């Protein structure tokens, strides 16, 4: 809890209630958007689609070994923000990103920075499971093949196995690695996509509503997996399910019409949000 | 009045289900009518196809057989190889005509009149001596013996045998004289006339003489043209589609290009012929009437078809595949070549084969670039003068001889067979590529 | 930036997209307010039974007590239903959690009323020559009753609108409650040797203690109200500093 009465008791009189009230309704981000051990730091990020501004001055850190969830109503820009973190927005015509997004202190929108290796460092899992229409083995091996991560077949086999194991899929598919990845169930496909992503050893994994096409059991398996992956990766997840955000993430950011309204510890956001918009959204009230 | 219930129920508004039931019959009738119209339309189309095929096949199948006359030809050493050296030049230069004529004359010893003799000789094809020469040169051991040889008959005799000339009509109404009919009848009785499979049709180039005319030249011309067209247009078309669909910036220029590509697909094909004449022959000086120039014109003509089909195929590849590849760090080119293209290939191939089929059947632009020339020789390369099947059909259809009618139909049968094979190939290719995943 | 968010004193339990949710929250709150009002009424009845020596009042209190138990069972059921069906978050979560605690506090206050009524009946049944309740003691007892009831009544009102200001007033009343109960104890200690039997003294002491506990329950409820309204747990804090801080922020 960032604002406790205990701290207030030490320093009363900093701000009047009226001042606080007016601050609450400006679009300044409420809460602390920094984190102790950041991997990605975003400052004053604006994203434009042509003349339309989709993201307005968002600052947010993604820390090491933490899951940051991004919630908000449809069209609030959370997916746009996520996609600007590995420059997937580059493929969209008329999309511009300004401000600073750094990965381990390195500006990712630098002119000289190649987005192709960046996307190997910042992997992405998409809303709809999208395995390649190739075998399970090839799906996982593909990233290593194009980046030349392994030297021989044995190493590649090892990488495929360890990636599938980390994704919790190995036991289910080890006997049918040559079968098409598209023949798996939805939840298995999504885990295959996660295995494919972690096969290139990214530092950050972005997940864009990874469970929205899955049934509750498959969702639970993925959530469990996300919690395990946290040990080794930084994870940013966009989700429509507030329960999911509450379950999997350590910090939660609430987006509204392109603004980052509030960010904070997940516990605090879900028990005591500071901003009225956040509260209205997560309690399901009329805007 | 004792029981108010019926009046009440009469006054209540009709239930929805009653209204639905009332209209249900009408709706079903509508559906039946629509189905009938559809069945009728399909039946009509099928009927026309059947009509076309029966007409062509009934006219054309006889061309696959040809009439021959069996004659005991004395292959005299004195005439063929007087020196006895078996020198091929000498053998080649011999007077085979005399050999055949002598053999034929032996069959009709009573005929001495020169006019009648000419009629007898006319029963044989002009090409018969040439065929005999080839036979002898292939087996010089025959020289000095007397062989029963099947000699190619003239097209009119062929027609007579096939029943296309009415033997009982008045002499002035047919091209074959009464005497000839009598001689033919005699030969038939002797079993000296028979119909054999028409190999000439498949091995020879065209000719003024129907019995010597074949489609080999046109077939080879079509083959070379199509091969080159495919080699040129498929990579260019796929490349253009890939660039336009995946890499080109979306702006006014690419819009303009897209509109023009679509328009080009609808341009009458003869315009491409004029273009080819002006640009390739006139400007670049490509030799006219060759598979090369034909292929260039066909390439330009089929490119829009291939580009459009390829773009549709690319569009049908789900964007999630591209995202997946980009998301793990594949470059745009890797994304296209590793993932998008393999998925789009069946559609692209179908488009290409449809374009090829169209090119195979195309006549008009080829007339403009000299493919209509009368070319007897079978082409052996891209730069030999050649003609193509549809043009051959067009030329034969124009010829007055009765025997060319069946050859025209036969050539059409061959063309249709090739179109069918190409479509089959399209289907099979699709299957094969789609089954990969 | 560090701030106690100044929550507007609007009705927080309205405005859900799912209207049934509002209705369920309102129902739960209705049950708790019902319990609270019954507790206040019962307390007054029990004390009047003592002052006026009216046995029937005490019996009525005992008769009605099970109603409060049933209502608290209803409240629990509503809480379970809401958690399973709506998975409340943020202020809704706090409301449900707080209302659950408030229901049990109110129910325990109801138990204290029963204790008072039992003691009253015992005292009325004693065969004693002297007066049951000397005048001085009667005044003090009435004052204690007034404090406890007033605190409890206001705590229930605070629940009705999650009113922080009202809750603070309850906190401020707490010393007065302790003072009143101390006065009762003091007087009982002075006068016990001549005028009262030991049994009488113990009974009255128990009643005074129960009244004080009812007041304590009221402050606990007030804490929960502040938890709902401000989202911060203020139990086990120094009350004076807490009151100062919140007053400073305009409550």
* DSSP states of chain A: --S-HHHHHHSTTSS-HHHHHHHHTSSPPBS----SSEEEEEEEEEEEETTEEEEEEEEEEEETT-EEEEE-STTSSHHHHHHHTTTGGGGSTTEEEEEEEEETTEETT-TT--HHHHHHHEEEE-SS----SSBHHHHHHHHHHHHT--SSHHHHHHHHHHHHHHTT-HHHHTT-TTSBGGGS-HHHHHHHHHHHHHTT--SEEEEESTTTTS-HHHHHHHHHHHHHHTTT-EEEEE-S-HHHHHHH-SEEEEEETTEEEEEEEHHHHHH--SSHHHHHHHHTB--
Q: Residue B384 — φ and ψ, nearest 5°?
A: -85, 150
pLDDT given at position B137: 86
Contact A79, A129 (CB under 8 A): no
d(CA A201, CA A233): 9
Whether B323 and A197 lie within 8 Å, measured CB to CB: no
pLDDT given at position B227: 92
**A217 and chain C: CB distance < 8 Å anywhere?**
no
d(CA A136, CA A130): 12
Question: Among all chains, which residue has been given the structure tokens 């490349």?
Answer: B239
Mutate to test the interface with A, among C12, C89, C98 (most CBs of A within 10 A): C89
Take residue C80 and report the two structure tokens written for it: 């379970």
**C94 and chain A: CB distance < 8 Å anywhere?**
yes
Q: Crossing angle for the helix pair A186-198 and A153-166, nearest 10 degrees? A: 130
Contacts of B422 by beta carbon, 8 Å cutoff, 6+ apart:
B353, B356, B357, B360
pLDDT given at position A17: 45
**C62 and chain A: CB distance < 8 Å anywhere?**
no
Contacts of B219 by beta carbon, 8 Å cutoff, 6+ apart:
B389, B414
Which CATH code is given to the segment(s) B216-434?
1.10.3720.10
Whether B and C touch, i.e. at least 3 CB pairs below 8 A, reads as no
Contact B372, B391 (CB under 8 A): yes
Contact A135, A181 (CB under 8 A): yes
Contacts of A143 by beta carbon, 8 Å cutoff, 6+ apart:
A120, A149, A196, A197, A199, A200, B328, B329, B330
d(CA B33, CA B372): 50
pLDDT given at position B19: 85
Residue-wise DSSP of B208-261: SSGGG--SHHHHHHHHHHHHHHHHHHHHHHHHHHHIIIIIS--SHHHHHHHHHH
Question: What residue segments make up the domains of chain C, in order of their start?
Answer: 19-248
Contact B181, B105 (CB under 8 A): no
d(CA B437, CA B428): 15
Percentage of chain B lying above the pLDDT 90 cut: 27
Binned at pLDDT 50, 70 and 90, residue C191 comes out as low
CB atoms within 10 A of CB C194: 7
Take residue A252 and report the two structure tokens written for it: 């939660």
- Look at residue B72 and tell me whether its pLDDT is greater than 80: yes
Contacts of B64 by beta carbon, 8 Å cutoff, 6+ apart:
B197, B198, B201, B410
Half-sphere exposure at residue A89, Cβ-oriented, CA atoms within 13 angstroms: 25
- Nearest residue to C157 (alpha-carbon basis) of C29, C65, C24: C29
Query: Which neighbouring-strand residues pair with A106?
Result: A103
User: Which chains have 3+ CB pairs within 8 A of C?
Assistant: A
Listed in order, the ranges of chain B carrying CATH 1.10.3720.10 are: 216-434
Distances (CA, A) of B187 to A2, B104, B321: 118, 10, 75
pLDDT given at position C192: 57
Question: Among all chains, which residue has been given the structure tokens 């139990």?
Answer: C235
Torsion, CA C63, CA C67, CA C70, CA C72, rounded to 10: -120
Residue scoring higher pLDDT (C11 or B293): B293
Min distance A122 CA to chain B CA atoms (Å): 8
* Chain A neighbors of C90, CB-CB under 8 A: 269-273, 278-279, 282-283
Minimal Cβ distance to A5: which of C21, C93, C232: C232
User: What is the ipTM for the molecules in this complex?
Assistant: 0.82
How far from each other are the two terminal CA atoms of chain B, in whole angstroms? 77
User: Tens digit of pLDDT per residue, chain A (287 long)?
Assistant: 344 554 544 444 444 444 444 433 346 788 888 888 899 999 999 999 888 888 888 999 999 999 999 999 988 889 999 999 989 888 788 888 999 999 998 899 988 888 888 988 999 999 889 999 889 999 999 999 898 888 889 999 999 999 999 888 999 998 999 999 888 998 899 999 999 999 998 999 999 999 988 888 889 989 999 999 999 999 999 998 888 999 999 999 999 888 999 999 999 899 888 888 888 888 888 65
Min distance A23 CA to chain B CA atoms (Å): 39
Take residue B315 and report the two structure tokens written for it: 């569009």
- What's the alpha-carbon Rg for chain B, to the nearest Å? 33
Q: How far, in whole angstroms, is CA B354 from its chain's centroid?
A: 15
Q: How many residues does chain C have?
A: 251
Name all domains of chain A by residue range, CATH numbers in brackets.
30-283 (3.40.50.300)
Nearest CA in chain B to A86: B327
**A148 and chain B: CB distance < 8 Å anywhere?**
no
Residue-wise DSSP of B197-208: E-HHHHHS---S
Min distance A176 CA to chain B CA atoms (Å): 14
d(CA C155, CA C32): 11
Q: What is the mean pLDDT of chain B?
A: 87
Residues in A 2-31 with any Cβ partner in C closer than 8 A: 2-5, 7-9, 11-18, 20-21, 24
* Chain B neighbors of A119, CB-CB under 8 A: 326-329
| Mean pLDDT across C144-164 | 92
Contacts of B423 by beta carbon, 8 Å cutoff, 6+ apart:
B353, B357
**C240 and chain A: CB distance < 8 Å anywhere?**
no
Minimal Cβ distance to B331: which of A86, A88, A116: A116
- What's the alpha-carbon Rg for chain A, to the nearest Å? 20
Mutate to test the interface with A, among C4, C8, C90, C239 (most CBs of A within 10 A): C90
pLDDT given at position C70: 94
Element (H, E) at C72: helix C55-86
| Mean pLDDT across B221-236 | 93
> Which of A98-102, B206-210, C217-221 shows the lowest mean pLDDT across its residues?
B206-210
CATH topology for C19-248? Methane Monooxygenase Hydroxylase; Chain G, domain 1 (1.20.58)
Whether A134 and B437 lie within 8 Å, measured CB to CB: yes
Dihedral sign computed on CA atoms, order A124, A128, A134, A140: positive
- Nearest residue to A21 (alpha-carbon basis) of A219, A275, A228: A275
Minimal Cβ distance to A279: which of C90, C242, C245: C90
d(CA B35, CA A138): 48
**A272 and chain C: CB distance < 8 Å anywhere?**
yes
Nearest CA in chain A to C230: A272
pLDDT tens digits, residue range C113-134?
A: 999 999 999 988 887 666 677 7
Half-sphere exposure at residue A232, Cβ-oriented, CA atoms within 13 angstroms: 10
pLDDT given at position B354: 85
d(CA B307, CA A115): 30
Min distance C171 CA to chain A CA atoms (Å): 16
- Nearest residue to A272 (alpha-carbon basis) of B249, C231, C84: C231
Take residue C60 and report the two structure tokens written for it: 């009525």
Min distance C221 CA to chain A CA atoms (Å): 19
């Amino acid at each position: 809890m960032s604002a406790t009465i205990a701290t207030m008791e030490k320093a009363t009189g900093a701000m009047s209630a009226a001042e606080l009230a007016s601050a609450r309704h400006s679009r300044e981000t409420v809460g602390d958007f920094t984190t102790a051990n950041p991997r990605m730091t975003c400052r004053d990020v604006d994203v434009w689609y042509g003349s339309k501004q989709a993201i307005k001055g968002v600052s947010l850190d993604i820390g090491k070994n933490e899951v940051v969830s991004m919630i908000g109503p449809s069209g609030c820009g959370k997916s746009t923000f996520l996609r600007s973190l590995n420059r997937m927005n580059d493929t969209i015509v008329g999309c511009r990103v300004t401000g600073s997004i750094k990965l381990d202190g390195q500006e990712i929108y630098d002119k000289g920075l190649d987005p192709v290796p960046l996307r190997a460092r910042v992997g992405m899992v998409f809303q709809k499971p999208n395995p390649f229409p190739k075998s399970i083995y090839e799906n996982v091996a593909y990233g290593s093949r194009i980046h030349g991560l392994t030297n021989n077949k044995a190493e590649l086999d090892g990488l495929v196995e360890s990636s599938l194991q980390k994704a919790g899929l190995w036991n289910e598919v080890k006997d049918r690695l040559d079968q098409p990845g598209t023949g798996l169930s939805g939840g298995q496909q999504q885990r295959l996509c996660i295995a494919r992503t972690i096969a290139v050893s990214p530092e950050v994994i972005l997940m864009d509503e990874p469970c929205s096409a899955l049934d509750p059991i498959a969702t639970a398996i993925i959530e469990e997996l996300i919690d395990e992956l946290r040990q080794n990766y930084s994870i940013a997840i966009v989700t429509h399910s507030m329960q999911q955000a509450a379950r999997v993430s350590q910090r939660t950011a609430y987006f509204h019409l392109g603004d980052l309204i509030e960010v904070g510890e997940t516990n605090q956001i879900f028990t005591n949000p500071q901003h009225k918009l956040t509260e209205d959204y997560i309690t399901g009230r009329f805007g | 009045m004792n029981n108010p219930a019926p009046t009440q129920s009469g006054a209540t508004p009709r239930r929805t289900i009653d209204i639905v039931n009332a209209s249900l019959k009408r709706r079903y009738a509508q559906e039946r009518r629509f189905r009938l119209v559809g069945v009728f339309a399909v039946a009509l189309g099928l009927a026309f196809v059947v009509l076309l095929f029966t007409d062509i096949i009934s006219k054309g199948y006889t061309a696959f057989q040809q009439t021959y006359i069996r004659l005991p030809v004395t292959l005299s050493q004195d005439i063929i190889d007087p020196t006895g050296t078996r020198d091929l030049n000498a053998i080649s230069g011999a007077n085979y005509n005399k050999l055949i004529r002598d053999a034929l004359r032996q069959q009709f010893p009573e005929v001495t009149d020169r006019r009648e003799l000419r009629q007898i000789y006319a029963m044989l094809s002009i090409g018969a001596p040439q065929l005999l020469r080839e036979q002898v040169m292939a087996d010089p051991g025959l020289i000095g013996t007397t062989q029963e040889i099947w000699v190619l008959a003239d097209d009119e005799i062929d027609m007579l045998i096939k029943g296309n000339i009415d033997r009982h009509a008045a002499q002035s109404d047919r091209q074959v004289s009464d005497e000839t009919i009598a001689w033919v009848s005699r030969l038939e009785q002797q079993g000296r006339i028979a119909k054999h499979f028409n190999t000439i049709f498949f091995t020879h180039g065209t000719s003024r003489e129907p019995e010597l005319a074949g489609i080999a030249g046109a077939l080879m011309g079509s083959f070379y043209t199509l091969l080159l067209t495919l080699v040129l247009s498929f990579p260019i078309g796929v490349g253009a589609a890939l660039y336009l669909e995946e890499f080109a910036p979306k702006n006014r220029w690419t819009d303009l290009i897209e509109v023009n590509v679509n328009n080009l697909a609808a341009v009458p094909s003869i315009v491409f012929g004029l273009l080819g004449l002006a640009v390739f022959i006139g400007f670049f000086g490509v030799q006219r009437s060759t598979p090369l120039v034909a292929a260039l014109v066909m390439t330009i003509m089929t490119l829009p078809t291939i580009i459009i089909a390829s773009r549709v195929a690319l569009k049908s590849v789900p964007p999630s595949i591209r995202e997946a590849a980009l998301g793990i760090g594949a470059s745009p080119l890797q994304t296209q070549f590793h993932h998008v293209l393999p998925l789009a290939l069946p559609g692209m191939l179908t488009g290409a084969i449809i374009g090829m089929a169209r090119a195979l059947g195309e006549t008009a632009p080829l007339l403009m670039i000299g493919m209509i020339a009368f070319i007897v020789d079978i082409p052996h390369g891209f730069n030999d003068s050649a003609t193509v099947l549809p043009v051959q059909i067009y030329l034969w259809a124009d010829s007055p001889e009765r025997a060319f009618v069946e050859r025209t139909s036969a050539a059409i049968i061959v063309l249709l067979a090739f179109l069918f094979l190409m479509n089959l190939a399209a289907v099979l290719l699709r299957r094969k590529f789609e089954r990969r995943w | 930036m560090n701030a106690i968010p100044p929550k507007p004193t609007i009705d927080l339990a309205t405005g859900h997209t799912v209207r049934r949710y509002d209705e369920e929250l309102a129902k739960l709150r209705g049950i708790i307010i019902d319990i609270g009002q019954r507790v206040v009424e019962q307390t007054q009845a029990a004390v009047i039974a003592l002052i006026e020596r009216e046995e029937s009042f005490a019996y009525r209190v005992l008769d009605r007590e099970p109603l409060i138990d049933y209502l608290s069972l209803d409240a629990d059921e509503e809480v379970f239903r809401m958690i399973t069906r709506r998975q409340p978050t943020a202020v809704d979560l706090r409301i449900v959690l707080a209302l659950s605690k408030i229901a049990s506090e109110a129910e325990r206050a109801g138990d204290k009323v029963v204790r008072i009524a039992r003691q009253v009946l015992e005292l009325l049944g004693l065969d004693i020559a002297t007066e049951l309740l000397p005048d001085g003691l009667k005044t003090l007892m009435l004052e204690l009753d007034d404090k406890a009831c007033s605190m409890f009544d206001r705590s229930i009102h605070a629940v009705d609108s999650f009113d922080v200001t009202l809750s603070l007033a309850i906190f401020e009343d707490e010393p007065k409650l302790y003072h009143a109960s101390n006065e009762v104890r003091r007087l009982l200690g002075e006068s016990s040797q001549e005028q009262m039997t030991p049994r009488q003294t113990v009974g009255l002491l128990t009643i005074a203690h129960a009244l004080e506990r009812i007041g304590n329950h009221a402050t606990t409820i007030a804490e929960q109200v502040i938890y709902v309204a401000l989202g911060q747990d203020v139990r086990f804090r120094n009350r004076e500093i807490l009151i100062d801080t919140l007053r400073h922020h305009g409550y």
